[in-house]
Structure 1
Amino acid sequence: MSYHVVWKPLPGSQSLALSCPCDEILFEGTRGPGKTAAQLARFRRIVGLGYGTFWRGVIFDTEYKNLADIITQSKRMYRLFQDGARFLASASELRWIWPTGEELLFRFGKEEADYWDYHGQEFPFIGFNELTKQPNSDFYESMFSCRRSSFRPENYPRKDGSLLPNIPLETFSTTNPFGIGHTWVKKRFIDPAPRGTIVRQTQMVPNPQTRQEEPITLTRVAIHGSFKENPYLDPVYIAGLMNIKDPNKRKAWVEGSWDVTSGGRFDHLWDAALHVIRPFHIPDSWTVDRSHDWGESKPFSNLWWAQTDGTEATLPDGKKFCPPAGSLILIGEWYGCPPDELNKGLNMSSTNVAKGVKWVDARLAGQDLPEPEETRGKGQMHIVPGICNKVIPGPADGAIYNTGDEELSIAQKMEHQGVKWVEANKKPGSRINGASLFADMLEAVVEGKTTESGMPEKPAFYVFDCCRGWISRIPVLVRDDKNSDDVDTDQEDHDWDGTRYRVLHNPPKPAFDINMETTF
């Protein structure tokens, strides 16, 4: 019997993506190695093997309009097989169906609530097109509850009595680096192991079929592809990529690098070598305060700031440091998120959050007090004890002042613990103004590098190197696609809100000191 090959994978990453045995696969890299074709072929390879209606798949993008390209590619590929497959093109259908019963759906979704449109359905194959478009992992992870099948080989023997293998359950996603979801995708697939290295997670699971506890191993891998593997690409296309002006976008799309800031609002101004500095003792005449963005199911953000007044500070190496009056330095952070999670809150009460804030105030001012039991080990806290003389109240989200008929507000509950705030500036236009002012402060540091003194001439922004969480989250914030002067609010922006509140805040010279003598 002779066979006519109508499509075959390219050698290299595309072939590896089709043969990979893992449960969860990310095919990532530069533009152009054939990632979308591999995703479509990954589903098609099971069609006609005997699973029939049990082999059912869905490929997601974040918006309906974004599905147009992958649908077009599927038509080019699947019609080559001439196996009777039909595409149902109405907006309510958008699916391929085969005479043998298999079907592949194209759908859109990005919010966790979008999962409920699929709750209870069976999809042995789930795909995500350009995974970094997903703002966070909520929808992605929720869809794992649909990655299942009721197919049992013994119930559907072949005509010769032999049994099919168990139906594969797999999630296959494609992406380039860059985009609003860059950070969470990188943390899930890129950071744990080198590309091509399978990450295994074994756990004991009650097996409903055997009614026994059994070890089950889940596997995850990132497969890296490059345009250099694709002989069908026009070199004019490659030249276009290489001439992209944005250096981060060029590095992501041409090199497939994940070590970029992802299309950000501030990445053109951010230079870690200039903005990140080693901690030093804050002069007593500088203002030290804090900002707050509330969160319970989502992270809260507490940030501690020093604002300069023109007085010189002494750096750890003995050099003098004197940025212009009004410059800001982030000196400490406490972020309400488990260390190994993204955008997940601690569900801490406002009372306990206030206890932690009060303790940090005291520690920054040099008091050696035991950390409250309620906050010990909670969230991501990075501070340098004894670095300043005192801390005064700073700006907080005005939402903490809202209250019910007979209920204390969050601000009132915190004040009962000795933690006061000042209501943040959230007037119309404050989001854009805050982003613009922050950008100016970043730019002042960059421009200061070229001055004779090496110091900025305008109020500037710095961050202590101990504030690792803020440094990992703020530079990668992407622009709002509807307003490029703002930050996209779908991403993990709690630190940004706290930063924006402080940038827009004009602290008075403190008329009182926070009472550090109060016992815990």
Structure 2
Amino acid sequence: MNYKAVWKPLPGSQSLSLSCPCNEILYEGTRGPGKTAAQLARFRRLVGLGYGSFWRGVIFDTEYKNLTDIITQSKRMYRLFNDGARYLASASELRWVWPTGEELLFRFGKEESDYWDYHGQEFPFIGFNELTKQQSSEFYEMMFSCRRSSFRPEDYPLDDGSLIKPIPLETFSTTNPFGIGHTWVKKRFIEPAPRGTIIRETQSVFNPQTEREEDVTLTRVAIHGSFKENPYLDPQYIATLMAIKDPNRKKAWVEGSWDVTSGGRFDHLWNESLHVIKPFPIPSSWIVDRSHDWGESKPFSNLWWARADGTEATLPDGRKFCPPAGSLILISEWYGCPPGELNKGLNMSSTNVAKGVAWIDKRLAGEDVSEPEEIKEAGETLGQMNIIPGICQGVEPGPADGAIYNTGDNEQSIADKMAKQGVTWVPSNKKPGSRKNGAAIFADMLEAVIEGKKTESGMPEKPAFYVFEHCRGWISRIPVLVRDSKDPDDVDTSQEDHDWDGTRYEVLHEPKQVGAIFF
């Protein structure tokens, strides 16, 4: 008997995404290769095979309105099969159900708290539509606890007595580069291995079925798709993509490149080749201070700054460097986030953080002091500490978030606890409008460097902003900060913005020793 295929995947990435055996799949790339159709087909491929109500899936987006397109596509695809599937369209349902018991839900979620609507449920198939819309990995990773099934093949033999394969547990996401979650998605899927290369993570776990320890390997992969694979696309659509003026968006959507800054507040002004410079000894007349944004469950940020006063500095190659008075150079950083993680704190006490700051202050000034025992014991969990001993002659107190001065009844403030370790701060500028004002001044300082390269002297005419090249944590986080969608002049505060807060405090800070700064 001849059978006619109801739906057939396109050759290339779409077919590969359906046959891939990995537990965690990201189908990413340009606009238009058929990623959404592949996600829907990925779930549908196991309907009617014998899993029944055990084959249960959910596909997430961040908002209800964003589900419209994928629901529409599901109606076009699933009705082709003519297998009795029904779509339940009420706001409380939003699901496909099959006569054989399978069901696929469409839901929205993005906050860590949204997970609790699904806690304890079984979803062997979990999908995320446009994963880079997820601001962090929190909700995504928490849903893994629902990626499970109580199905046992031996309990549900087929009519002929044979056993079906164990039910697969999988997370299948689609996305383009770009979006508020660009950084964490890139770190999870793109940076560890080339596209198409399976990432394997093996751990020893107790298997309740065999009652012994066994090695279990979880697999993860990114599959790259291109609009060039889709013969059904209208060339006018391609022309529309090619006409995109934003260079980062065009690079992401047309080339599928992850080497972009995504809708950034500062990406139009950031130039790593100009703003990132090699370290040099800080002249004694320049002010060196530090800024601080507190965090415990979330990262803290300690940043050390040199503020130029108009006198020359000598570069390692002997050349002179003389930015205008008021120019800032980030010279060192200590970011309280475990290595390899995103937006997670060290849960270090304020006392121990202060001991670390005091030690770094002394090391930057060239003092040969022993590392505090509390810091030494923390070992590799210290996060990102990038310093150059002896780079300056001393460190002064700088601005910190005013929240560290808050106290409860009969409690010492974080600032009080730090002061006991010899670390004091100056309250940061938190006046109305300071957030946007700080962003505007920072943008002006970035622009001053770019404009300075166009002058005969090659130096900025207004206060500028530079970063020492070893401050790789700051460099990886600040240029990708996304604009606030409701207030484009501000930074979206739902991001990993702790370094930005510390930077903003410093930009707005005006030490008395430096003359007035004019922009």
TM over 0.5: yes
Match for residue 517 of structure 1?
none
Alignment partner of 2:351: what SS?
Answer: helix
1:481 aligns with 2:485: yes
| Counterpart code for 1:440 | D
| CA deviation profile, 1:284-326 (whole Å, cap 9, x unmatched) | 1111100000000000000000111100111111111111111
Deviation at 1:143, TM superposition (A): 0.3
Aligned residue among 383, 399, 406 for 2:403: 399
Which amino acid is the alignment partner of residue 19 of structure 1? S
Residue 430 (structure 2) pairs with residue 435 (structure 1): no
Counterparts in 2 of 1:63-462, with a 5 A limit?
63-376=63-376, 377=379, 378-462=382-466
Letter in 1 for 2:57: G
Displacement of 1:183: 0.8
- Determine the structure 2 residue equivalent to 1:513: none
Give, in whole Å, the separation in 2 of the partners of 1:103 and 1:197. Answer: 31
Aligned AA (1:267) = D
Give the whole-Å Cα distance in 2 for the aligned partners of 1:367 and 1:181: 41
Superposed displacement of residue 67, structure 1: 0.6
Q: Where does residue 13 of structure 1 map in the other structure?
A: 13
2:505 alignment counterpart? 501
Letter in 2 for 1:497: D
1:509 deviates by: 2.1
Q: Secondary structure at the match of 2:84?
A: coil
What are the superposed Cα offsets for residues 239-295 of structure 1, whole Å, 9 maximum, x if unpaired? 111121111111111111111111110000000000000000111111110000000
Mapped to 2, the partners of 1:76 and 1:27 lie a distance apart of 21
Amino acid at match of 2:431: K
Unmatched 5+ stretches in structure 1 = 511-520
- The whole-number CA distance in structure 2 between the counterparts of 1:202 and 1:405 is 48
Q: 3-state SS of the aligned residue for 2:374?
A: coil
Displacement after TM superposition at 1:210 (Å): 1.2
Structure 2 counterpart of 1:514:
none
2:212 maps to a residue whose letter is Q
Using the size of structure 2 for normalisation, the TM-score is 0.97
> Which residue identity lines up with residue 474 of structure 1 in the other structure?
I
Corresponding residue for 2:475? 471
CA displacement at 1:475 relative to structure 2:
0.3
What SS does the corresponding residue of 1:440 show, helix, strand or coil? helix
C-alpha displacement at 1:90, in angstroms? 1.0
Q: CA-to-partner distance for each residue in 1:166-201, whole Å, 9 max, x for gaps?
A: 001000000111111111111110111110000111
SS in 1 for 2:373: coil
The gaps in structure 2 that reach 5 residues or longer are 515-519
CA distance in 1, matches of 2:135, 2:211: 39
Alpha-carbon distance between aligned partners in 2 of 1:487 and 1:73, rounded to the nearest angstrom: 34
Query: Taking structure 1 as the reference length, what is the TM-score of the superposition?
Result: 0.97
| Code of the aligned partner of 1:5 | A
- 1:65-123 Cα distance to aligned partner (Å, 9 max, x none): 11111111111111111111111111111101111110000001111111000000000
- Aligned mates of 1:55, 1:341 — CA distance in 2: 32
- AA paired with 2:406? N
Q: Distance in 1 between matches of 2:394 and 2:203?
A: 49
Task: Report the AA paired with residue 223 of structure 1.
Answer: I
Q: State, as a whole percentage, how many aligned pairs show the same letter.
A: 83
- 1:72 partner SS: helix
Deviation at 1:26, TM superposition (A): 0.3
What letter is aligned with 2:217? Answer: T
The residue type equivalent to 1:249 in the other structure is R
Distance 2:234 2:418 in 1: 62
Q: Give the SS at the match of 1:446.
A: helix
CA deviation profile, 1:354-374 (whole Å, cap 9, x unmatched): 000001110111111121121
Deviation at 1:508, TM superposition (A): 1.7
CA RMSD of aligned residues (A): 0.8
Distance 2:214 2:424 in 1: 53
SS at match of 2:248: helix
Cα distance in 1 for partners of 2:179, 2:147 equals: 26
- What is the CA distance between 1:6 and its match in structure 2? 1.5
Query: What is the DSSP-based 3-state SS (H/G/I as helix, E as strand, rest coil) of the residue aligned with 1:291?
Result: strand
Q: Deviations over 1:208-265 (max 9, x none)?
A: 1111111111100000000110111111111111121111111111111111111110
Distance in 1 (alpha carbons) for counterparts of 2:390 and 2:242: 49
1:325-358: CA deviations, max 9, x gaps? 1111000000000111111100000000000000
Report SS of the residue matched to 1:216: strand
Q: Which amino acid aligns with 1:269?
A: L
Cα deviation, residue 2, structure 1: 2.3
How many pairs were matched up? 510
**Residue type of the alignment partner of 1:463:** V
1:452 partner amino acid: E
Q: Separation in 1 of the partners of 2:269 and 2:216?
A: 47
Secondary structure at the residue paired with 1:90? Answer: coil
1:515 match: none
Alpha-carbon separation, structure 2, partners of 1:88 and 1:448 = 61
